């Protein structure tokens, strides 16, 4: 975990120095406010992150032209904070502001236009508006595929996200198609133990073929065990995924063993995710209803 208090202390000292040496609306001050906001965002303190992003954008509105890319970035940052807060209407409002600036400032197929489309799609996915999520992701893909310098990893991310949308729509054949497209790119572009590969294995594992599901879930866990710290939350997620597969296969003993590993990691990591707790509770209840072997 980063030393957030130390980072905040240093950034605040930097701001005090800049305030004495620079005009009050100097662009460098906006950068410092952005840095502080990013720290608060990493700390999951959305209200403080929003406060400092707004301080930054007020300076940028004065110091920069209305179509400057840094303004677009600020609007995106604020949109992400609102998304984390669950205020999806405000998130879309700020992502649209970012998109409007980029559309005015950039050529039609510039790769940076893919970012706001991705951001919009992510919000629509959270809102379960899958048709709009697909529409935005497909716009992003068209831009990325036409880019002079093709960003393969961005394309892999986009394919993966489309797979997530189709999985949520219960169209598992289409989901698998896009998960595999994403995986093919990652295998070429990433080291064998990159955590993003583990995510792809886990996504493919969720597509219903139990033998394949176990194989890919275990591949994902192996990568994460090599790449991450012992008590990283993603390790808990992998163990939970394996528990889910064993539960689906009717192997309740192994399901419970995997869930117990997941719980222990989450306890040490200090996870407070209500979604995880609910998910785990439901699966434990299901396993125990069928009897726990002694």
**pLDDT at residue 221, rounded to an integer:** 87
Domain span at residue 279?
A: 190-294
Q: Which residue ranges in the chain fall short of pLDDT 70?
A: 1-2, 148-150, 208, 269-294
193 vs 197: CA distance, rounded Å: 7
Assess if residue 275 is contained within a domain.
Answer: yes
pTM of the model: 0.74
Assess if residue 27 is contained within a domain.
Answer: no
**pLDDT at residue 212, rounded to an integer:** 77
- How many folded domains does the chain comprise? 1
Assess if residue 258 is contained within a domain.
Answer: yes
**pLDDT at residue 150, rounded to an integer:** 67
- 3-state secondary structure labels for all residues of the chain: CCCHHHHHHHHHHHHHHHHHHCCCCCHHHHHHHHHHHHHHHHCCCHHHHHHHHHHHHHHHHHHCCCCCHHHHHHHHHHHHHHHHCCCHHHHHHHHHHHHHHHHHHCCCCCHHHHHHHHHHHHHHHHCCCHHHHHHHHHHHHHHHHHCCCCCHHHHHHHHHHHHHHHHHCCCHHHHHHHHHHHHHHHHHHCCCCCHHHHHHHHHHHCCCCHHHHHHHHHHHHHHHHHHCCCCCHHHHHHHHHHHHHHHHHCCHHHHHHHHHHHHHHHHHHCCCCHHHHHHHHHHHHHHHHCCCCC
Residue among 169, 179, 186, 181 at smallest CA distance from 213? 179
**pLDDT at residue 280, rounded to an integer:** 52
**pLDDT at residue 92, rounded to an integer:** 96
Assess if residue 41 is contained within a domain.
Answer: no
105 vs 275: CA distance, rounded Å: 40
**pLDDT at residue 282, rounded to an integer:** 52
First-residue to last-residue Cα distance in the chain: 39
Instruction: Please say whether the dihedral angle defined by the alpha carbons of residues 52, 54, 58 and 61, taken in this order, is positive or negative.
Output: positive
Each residue of 48-68: pLDDT tens digit? 999 999 999 999 999 999 999
Assess if residue 244 is contained within a domain.
Answer: yes
**pLDDT at residue 128, rounded to an integer:** 94
**pLDDT at residue 120, rounded to an integer:** 95
Instruction: Please say whether the dihedral angle defined by the alpha carbons of residues 131, 135, 136 and 141, taken in this order, is positive or negative.
Output: positive
Each residue of 207-245: pLDDT tens digit? 767 777 788 888 888 888 888 888 888 888 888 888 888
Q: Which two tokens stand for residue 269?
A: 């990591």
Assess if residue 64 is contained within a domain.
Answer: no
120 Cα distance to chain centroid? 13
Between vectors from CA 286 to CA 230 and to CA 219, what angle results, nearest 5°?
Answer: 35
User: For the domain that residue 233 is a member of, what is the CATH number?
Assistant: 1.25.40.10
> Phi/psi zone of residue 128: left (φ > 0), alpha (ψ -120 to 50 degrees), beta?
left
**pLDDT at residue 263, rounded to an integer:** 86
262 vs 241: CA distance, rounded Å: 9
User: Which residue reads 């992502």 in tokens?
Assistant: 95
Assess if residue 264 is contained within a domain.
Answer: yes
Assess if residue 120 is contained within a domain.
Answer: no
57 vs 78: CA distance, rounded Å: 9
């Amino acid at each position: 975990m980063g030393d957030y208090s130390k980072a905040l202390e240093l950034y605040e000292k930097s701001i005090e120095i800049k305030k004495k040496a620079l005009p009050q609306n100097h662009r460098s001050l906006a950068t410092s406010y952005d840095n502080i906001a990013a720290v608060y965002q990493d700390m999951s303190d959305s209200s403080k992150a929003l406060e400092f992003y707004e301080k930054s954008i007020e300076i940028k509105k004065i110091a920069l032209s209305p179509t400057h890319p840094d303004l677009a970035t600020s609007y995106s940052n604020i949109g992400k904070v609102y998304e984390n807060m669950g205020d999806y209407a405000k998130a879309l409002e700020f992502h649209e502001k970012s998109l409007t600036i980029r559309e005015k400032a950039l050529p039609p197929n510039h790769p940076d236009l893919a970012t706001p489309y991705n951001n919009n799609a992510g919000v629509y996915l959270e809102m379960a508006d899958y048709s709009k999520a697909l529409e935005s992701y497909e716009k992003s893909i068209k831009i990325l595929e036409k880019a002079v310098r093709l960003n393969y990893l961005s394309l892999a991310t986009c394919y993966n996200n489309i797979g997530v949308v189709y999985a949520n729509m219960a169209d598992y054949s289409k989901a698998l198609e896009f998960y595999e497209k994403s995986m093919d790119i990652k295998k070429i572009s990433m080291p064998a133990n990159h955590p993003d590969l583990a995510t792809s294995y886990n996504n493919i594992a969720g597509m219903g073929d139990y033998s394949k599901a176990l194989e890919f879930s275990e591949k994902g866990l192996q990568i994460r065990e090599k790449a991450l710290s012992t008590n990283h939350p993603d390790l808990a997620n992998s163990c939970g995924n394996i528990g889910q597969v064993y539960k689906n296969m009717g192997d309740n003993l192994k399901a419970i063993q995997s869930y117990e590993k997941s719980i222990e990691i989450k306890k040490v990591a200090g996870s407070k995710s209500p979604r995880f707790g609910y998910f785990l509770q439901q699966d434990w209840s299901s396993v125990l209803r069928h009897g726990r072997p002694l």
